Structure 1
């Protein structure tokens, strides 16, 4: 990295290995660093929150859900652009778009074009 250039890190939180790895592959193909976490608890234990440019999270996970994790981040004063991915886009989850940094809710299976669009939106906000 050159002087003054910041690393753009996307933190990906999903309990489904295949989804987590596929999203990470897409993120890396776009030139971003990807940090992968199997749960919200792992994210809080190991993530460098100040280095996270964008958060991509599953909504339904064992333990803390993606929406609970996002709420906790906001409570802690972190306003990270967030994209939720879910197989179950409920009205409650969809109503979060535009609030507290939630950019979008993308339904699984994740379409690469949609994810690329929202990553570019997040990049423009960082």
Structure 2
């Protein structure tokens, strides 16, 4: 019996973290939710995940730095960065830090599913 794919969700806003986690689960994946990059790095076995979805703007370690660290720990893990800010500078930086994809908040379930599935299929 195969397990569902496990997606880590990191967002400092508890409501947004829960909303994304619930969307992940509604799309038939399993989720683990973290309210900070530090919490994710301290509590999680990074290699156990099939994908990481992280907010960019967070206090302490932001999503860009988290993507850099994850690339060192688990280079094959797809990292999707999300933000309500969508500009060219942000999109370029996503690629520079090793992000697999960028999504603008809020995003609909169909766009999210396509992005996550494509990211995991590349890995």
For normalisation by structure 2, the TM-score amounts to 0.87
2:11 is matched with which residue?
14
List runs of 5+ in structure 1 lacking aligned partners.
Answer: none
1:125 partnered with 2:122:
yes
Deviation at 1:101, TM superposition (A): 5.0
Cα distance, 1:21 vs structure 2? 0.9
Corresponding position of 1:31: 28
CA deviations over 1:17-65 (Å, ceiling 9, x no partner)? 1111111111111211100000000000111211111110000000000
Task: Report what 2:89 is aligned to.
Answer: 92
Whichever structure has more helix as a proportion of its residues is 2
Quote the offset at 1:73 in angstroms: 1.6
Q: Does 1:62 align with 2:59?
A: yes
In the alignment of these two chains, the number of paired residues is 123
1:72 aligns with 2:69: yes
SS at match of 1:95: helix
| CA-based RMSD | 1.9
SS of 2:107's equivalent in the other structure is: coil
1:70 positional shift: 0.6
